[in-house]
Structure 1
Amino acid sequence: MPTPQTPLRSGFGAASTTSEVIAGIDLSGRTAIVTGGYSGLGRQTVRTFTAAGAQVVVPARDVPRAEARLAGIDGVQVWPMDLLDPASIDAFADRFLATGLPLHLLVNSAGIMAAPLTRDARGFESQFATNHLGHFLLTARLWLALAAADGARVVQVSSLGHRYSPVLFDDPGFERHPYDPWAGYGQSKTANILFALALDERGQASGVRAFSCHPGSIAGTGLEKHVPPEMLVAAGVINADGTPVLDPARGLKTPEQGAATLVWAATSPALAGLGGVYCENCDIAPVAPRLTGETTMADGGRLSGVQAYAVDPDAADRLWSLSEQLLGITFSTNRTNRTNR
């Protein structure tokens, strides 16, 4: 039975931190993979997991740089991987599967935002390719390890920015539609939510549950590198001197507050037996009223919840099929089949 997209009244909120949501939870003997785990929210998630006893693997394009950013955190390894390179993803997954370890936690946190139109070597638009397709392929290739955990969780880091666009199924690569960086970002973040919904429906028979989440707006993580500073100031995200504005009630958070929803979705006992839902502020989010007209970054402080198009089971199934088609794979979620190309 699908989990209702209805708040649980978790006892946590917008200002809750990773240390608060992980309190009393022991991750000893657990293995996690965190993409984007060497900066911002990802690094705080890695720090929290390892402090609770988990062993964590962080994929990175630039291994020395990632190792330097994670220096001093015990229990973490950095392995090479590029989300835009299928061969690199295959090599990473093969290396992990060769360890024979079950994968208890997969947090797909890496991403880019509002990037100018660029295409990868396959011709895919970069935000959709990085934020969604790369993580779809990585999850598919790691499936045997997830199923072997007998209770794994997959967390897709989405965003309130999903409100900028549904998935453009007739033209996901913006080959016929005019390209807008925020529409491209919104499409990829909607895809994160739909992927979690579809993955949870297919994976729960193997003990794998999936969630998506909005962490909030955390300035200074590097995600905003394509956004002009004056736009961030106008949106109330940073001050004129470049320092972050902190106001959890408006979703403007520290990394410890932003990563709390990721950690909560990955570890909270309150979510046992549940899945497929979009979370924010360390709880399941409600379905938001349908937006009319254009929204901007400045609207983020007054908006919350998930758009209905992002939790539509039919759209989730359609995205699954489209992703398999674009990647040339069959993502089988039984316990014995490998992903077929």
Structure 2
Amino acid sequence: MTRLATHDQHPLGSGFTPSSTADDVIAGIDLTGRNVIVTGGHSGLGLVATRALAGAGASVTVGSRDTGRAERAVAGIGDVEVRRLDLLDPASIDAFADGYLDSGRPLHILINNAGFPGSAGIVHDARGYEAQFAANHLGHFQLTLRLHPALRAAGGARVVTTTSGAQRMSDILWDDPHFTTGRYDPALAYPQSKTANVLFTVELDRRWAADGIRAYAPHPGIVPATAFNRAVGEEAQRAMGLIDASGAPVIDPDRGKKTPEQGAATIVFAATSPLLDGIGGVYLNNSDISPLDEDPRPVDLTDPDAEVPVDVVPHSVDPASARRLWELSEQLVRRPSA
């Protein structure tokens, strides 16, 4: 039975904790004969997920802009291949998807994990779209739609799109998602893209559950050791309590500050856990389904001692917004490159 995301945003009681690792959540699961794609599967959380999935017997395809770097990173990890994928280049996305479809293999798990960390000034993709919205959402949207035949052929597949607790901080900027009016704000650009990840998950599950394709949006926590978080700079990391005075990562999983192995746990849980069978279109945290926070309040992110909530909020799972974003995204990915 297919259930709506807003009805399913209730913890399962999975038994896992914020300290659980990817190896913990995949223990005892056999993925022999399963095909997996992990975008950005050669670094950070993606690399941990690639190791865990390949270690359980899966054949993993890693999508990366830098294939040489990726091949060095995954060398010796088992049945792993690397193919070029640039989520800011629509032609690269099509080429990657065509190459996979031409192989004739079903796709059992698609992990949309790669992300664009953003910058102080606006960056655009090949179509002229704001890069965080383009890479984190539209690139994965285009890729997933192109791979639909392979997902359907699996006879039971999962699409996992890595999101963030930052989804709480902004709805979709419906009037100007690409900041074309000159009001670019990096503090809104990233959260908007993460809200888009969750809304995409909600609508994909509604549309494709009948094909046996279920969707999940895991929040991995804050992982100071990843290049993605290091991109904000040491001063900002120190202000947020992500690194200490010596520059070492602060690990406090109960407050959401995790090692890469702990952060990747929720991604791997989304991709593989039998506890999620029959459920889809949900936002996950700490290797379980997140409750819905129906009364979110602002938080001072510059206070390293603040309790930063990460549960999903109503605007991120609103079914009407999810349909609206899907339709907008279809229009945007059809638009020719500039």
TM-score (norm 1): 0.93
Q: Distance in 1 between matches of 2:75 and 2:93?
A: 24
Change (3 A) 1:294 1:256: closer
Aligned pairs for 1:256-267 within 5 A: 256-267=261-272
Question: Contact 2:141–2:329 at 8 Å: present in 1 too?
Answer: yes
Q: Which position in structure 2 is the counterpart of 1:325?
A: 331
Q: Give the letter aligned to residue 312 of structure 2.
A: V
Question: Contact 1:103–1:148 at 8 Å: present in 2 too?
Answer: yes
Question: Contact 2:41–2:113 at 8 Å: present in 1 too?
Answer: yes
Q: Distance in 2 between matches of 1:33 and 1:140?
A: 14
Q: Which runs of 5+ in 2 are unaligned?
A: none
Shift of 1:290: 3.1
Aligned pairs for 1:1-341 within 5 A: 1-3=3-5, 4-116=8-120, 117-176=122-181, 178-293=183-298, 295-296=300-301, 298=303, 301-328=307-334
Q: Give the letter aligned to residue 184 of structure 1.
A: A
Q: Give the letter aligned to residue 290 of structure 1.
A: D
Change (3 A) 1:295 1:150: farther
Hey, which bits of structure 1, 4+ residues long, moved more than 6 A? none
Q: Distance in 2 between matches of 1:298 and 1:141?
A: 42
Q: Which runs of 5+ in 1 are unaligned?
A: 330-341
Q: Distance in 1 between matches of 2:300 and 2:313?
A: 13
Q: Give the letter aligned to residue 52 of structure 2.
A: T
Q: Distance in 2 between matches of 1:211 and 1:192?
A: 9
Q: Secondary structure at the match of 1:128?
A: helix
Shift of 1:11: 0.6
Q: Distance in 2 between matches of 1:143 and 1:252?
A: 35
**Aligned Cα root-mean-square deviation (Å):** 1.4
* Between 110-119 and 272-281, the greater mean CA deviation after superposition: 110-119
Q: Secondary structure at the match of 1:34?
A: strand
Q: Secondary structure at the match of 2:139?
A: helix
Q: Distance in 1 between matches of 2:233 and 2:220?
A: 21
Q: Percent identity?
A: 53
Q: Deviations over 1:78-119 (max 9, x none)?
A: 001110111111111111001111000000000023423111
Q: Deviations over 1:226-267 (max 9, x none)?
A: 413111111111112111101100011111110000000111
Q: Give the letter aligned to residue 322 of structure 1.
A: L
